[in-house]
């Protein structure tokens, strides 16, 4: 039974704690006077961030939790406020006195701490990494995030579903299409409509372009972090070309606003030409990169996440597949008919994650050929009905989960669990056998989102 998410909803009489597993979900009602629940982290360690977040957002006490530190609320966050409660309406917070955060640290003779972040050396998002070091060896790492926390869950409350779209598609720029597809599925559930096959194919095409862009960027950046810059030049050229294709097709380089219920013109020949070129370039790239021993010296056996640990931490996406777990939200009849095949590796190291990405790139090209079709279907949308809706999508990082409750025609509660939210919690395990100089490489090989994680 794979753990997926755990979150809270405020009802008029009580709090509802929803726990989602792959095969079923559980609902627990707790009183508002003294809201407390039992932890699930003994079985599902990745539950801890969900529970700490629940405490910050709603003030739910986790009775037997081993970690009760705040998660989203950082040092200067006003104490004892719970912004996701319905009676909280402030739009501006005053900074509270600085209260230091107690990092998980290993202490001992000669052990020292290295603090990295929140602002990093490269052009990337903010997050903090706290290392306990014995010389070069990493003894422990704590990943600390939520610097880019924007309060999106609160922002969307009270909005009509249509008005929420521009915000939802900007939760994580690299996964915009995936978020839009999750949104689309919820929209269709709420209007009780079926999606015509041709629209489904077009949206799937966009999702694969997004994956292609993201994977291409990664297969360049991962070798770059091992000191092999030529790969970055090569792959970033390809990813720029893919981005321009996205632009040509949707009018936006990241596909913001692209998933709609109206199919538009597509230049099939031009698209096929691009796919053929990309395929050739990738074959060349693979042939070249696999043949560089000094690079694979760095990749192999670095940053291992074993199958056992990946299962324990309920990892998803590329990270899970590189450790031998066979999960992918695309493993369904629609995708299988259009050429999908699961790409798996066993070793769970940087090299495995790199190879999964290369394999998925090739598979994406194959699928895109199947999804291509000229079509101008338009779906007239019906009226939105109140209800509680959930959806999933496989973004370029992994399984994305979204839940939207609609009451009186507006959003009552929005929750999204980015794939990164699961995988960040397993990153510290990957570090345990390596030296600190390998950290950027390991981190890049997972390439997780901060914005999507922090909401």
Partner 1 sequence: MIKFWNKRAKLGVITEKPELEESLKKIRKEIKESVKKHFAGSLAIRMVDSGSCNACEAECNALSNPYFDLERLGIYFVASPRHADVMLLSGVMTFNMTPHVKEAYAQIPSPKWVISVGDCPMMQAPYERTYAINAPVTEHLQVTHHIAGCPPNPLEIMEGLLEFLRKI
Q: Which residues of the chain form contacts with partner 1 (CB under 8 A)?
A: 74, 76-77, 83, 88, 90-93, 95, 118-119, 121-126, 146-152, 154-155, 166-167, 170-174, 176, 217, 230, 233, 236-237, 239-240, 243, 253-254, 256, 284, 287-288, 291-292, 449-451
42 makes contact, choosing from partner 1, ligand SF4, none, with CB < 5 to 8 Å by partner type, with none
Instruction: State in angstroms the smallest separation of the CB of 52 from partner 1.
Output: 15
Give the bridge partners for 181, in sequence order: none
Q: Which is nearer to ligand SF4, 151 or 173 (CB)?
A: 173
Show Cβ contacts of residue 28 under 8 Å, excluding neighbours closer than 6 positions.
Answer: 16, 17, 19, 37
Nearer to ligand SF4, 117 or 173 (CB): 173
The position carrying tokens 């922002």 is 155
Give the count of residues interacting with ligand SF4 (CB under 6 A). 2
Q: Which residues of 126-159 are buried (b: 16+ CB within 10 A; e: fewer)?
A: ebbbbbbbeeeebbbbbbbbbbbbeebbbebbee
Minimum CB–partner distance for residue 173 and ligand SF4 (Å): 5
Compare residues 82 and 170 and give the one whose CB is closer to ligand SF4.
170
Q: Closest CB to ligand SF4 among 152 and 446?
A: 152
Rounded distance, CA 144 to CA 72, Å? 9
Residue 362, C-beta contacts closer than 8 angstroms, at least 6 positions apart: 279, 282
The stretches of 77-196 forming alpha helices (DSSP H) are: 152-156, 161-168, 176-191
Applying the rule CB under 6 A, the residues between 35 and 94 that interact with ligand SF4 are: none
Residue 358: how many CA atoms within 13 Å on its side-chain side? 24
**Shortest Cβ contact with ligand SF4: which residue?**
170
Q: Per-residue x/- mask for ligand SF4, residues 171 to 190, rule CB under 6 A? A: --x-----------------
Binding at 171: pick from partner 1, ligand SF4, none (beta carbon under 5-8 Å per type): partner 1
As a whole number of angstroms, the distance between CA 323 and CA 302 comes to: 13
Distance CA 82, CA 405 (A): 20
d(CA 403, CA 415): 5
126 binds, among ligand SF4, partner 1, none (CB under 5 to 8 A by kind): partner 1
Q: Under rule CB under 6 A, which residues in 154-173 are in contact with ligand SF4? A: 170, 173
Provide, rounded to whole angstroms, the least separation between the CB of residue 280 and partner 1: 11
Q: What are phi and psi of 144, to 5 degrees?
A: -125, 125
For residues 87 and 78, what is the distance between their CA atoms, to the nearest angstrom?
A: 16
Q: How far is the CB of 421 from ligand SF4 (least distance, A)?
A: 19
Partner that binds at residue 24, options ligand SF4, partner 1, none, CB closer than 5 to 8 Å by kind? none
**Separation of alpha carbons 307 and 429, rounded Å:** 12
DSSP annotation of 16: E
Which one, of 34, 67, 48, lies nearest residue 6 by Cα?
Answer: 48
Position 118 contacts ligand SF4 (CB under 6 A)? no
Shortest CB 126 distance to partner 1, Å: 6
CA 59/CA 72 separation, integer angstroms: 12
CB of 440 to partner 1, least distance (A): 12
Q: Which parts of this chain interact with ligand SF4 (CB under 6 A)?
A: 170, 173
């Amino acid at each position: 039974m794979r753990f997926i998410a755990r979150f809270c909803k405020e009802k008029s009489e009580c709090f509802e704690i929803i726990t989602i597993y792959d095969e079923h979900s559980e609902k627990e009602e707790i009183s508002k006077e003294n809201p407390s629940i039992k932890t699930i982290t003994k079985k599902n360690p990745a539950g801890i961030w969900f529970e700490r977040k629940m405490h910050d957002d709603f003030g739910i006490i986790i009775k037997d939790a081993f970690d009760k530190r705040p998660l989203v609320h950082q040092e200067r966050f006003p104490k004892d406020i719970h912004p996701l409660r319905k009676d909280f309406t402030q739009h501006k917070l005053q900074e509270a006195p600085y209260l230091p955060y107690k990092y998980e640290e290993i202490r001992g003779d000669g052990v020292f701490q290295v603090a990295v972040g929140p602002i990093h050396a490269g052009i990337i998002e903010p997050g903090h990494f706290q290392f306990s070091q014995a010389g070069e060896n990493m003894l422990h790492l704590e990943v600390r995030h939520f610097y880019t926390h924007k309060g999106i869950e609160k922002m969307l409350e009270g909005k009509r579903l249509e008005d929420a779209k521009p915000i939802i598609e900007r939760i994580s720029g690299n996964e915009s299409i995936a978020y839009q597809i999750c949104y689309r599925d919820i929209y269709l559930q709420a209007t009780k409509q079926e999606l015509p096959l041709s629209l489904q194919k077009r949206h799937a095409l966009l999702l694969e372009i997004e994956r292609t862009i993201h994977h291409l960027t990664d297969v360049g950046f991962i070798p770059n972090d091992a000191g092999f810059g030529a790969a970055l030049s090569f792959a970033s050229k390809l990813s720029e070309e893919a981005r321009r294709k996205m632009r040509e097709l949707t009018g936006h380089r990241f596909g913001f606003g692209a998933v709609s219920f109206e199919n538009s013109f597509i230049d099939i020949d031009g698209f096929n030409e691009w796919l053929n070129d990309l395929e050739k370039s990738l074959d060349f790239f693979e042939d070249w990169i696999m043949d560089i021993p000094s690079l694979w010296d760095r990749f192999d056996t670095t940053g291992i996440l074993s199958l056992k640990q990946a299962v324990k931490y309920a990892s998803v996406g590329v990270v899970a597949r590189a450790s031998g777990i066979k999960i992918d939200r695309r493993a369904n009849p629609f995708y299988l008919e259009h050429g999908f095949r699961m790409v798996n590796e066993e070793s769970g190291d940087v090299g495995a994650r790199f190879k999964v990405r290369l394999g998925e790139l090739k598979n994406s090209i194959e699928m895109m050929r199947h999804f291509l079709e000229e079509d101008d279907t338009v779906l007239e949308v019906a009226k939105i009905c109140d209800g509680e809706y959930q959806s999933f999508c496989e973004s370029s990082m992994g399984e994305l989960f979204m839940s939207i409750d609609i009451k009186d025609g507006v959003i009552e509660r929005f929750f999204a669990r980015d794939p990164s939210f699961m995988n960040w919690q397993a990153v510290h395990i990957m570090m345990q056998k390596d030296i600190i100089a390998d950290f950027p490489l390991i981190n890049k090989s997972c390439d997780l989102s901060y914005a999507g994680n922090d909401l």
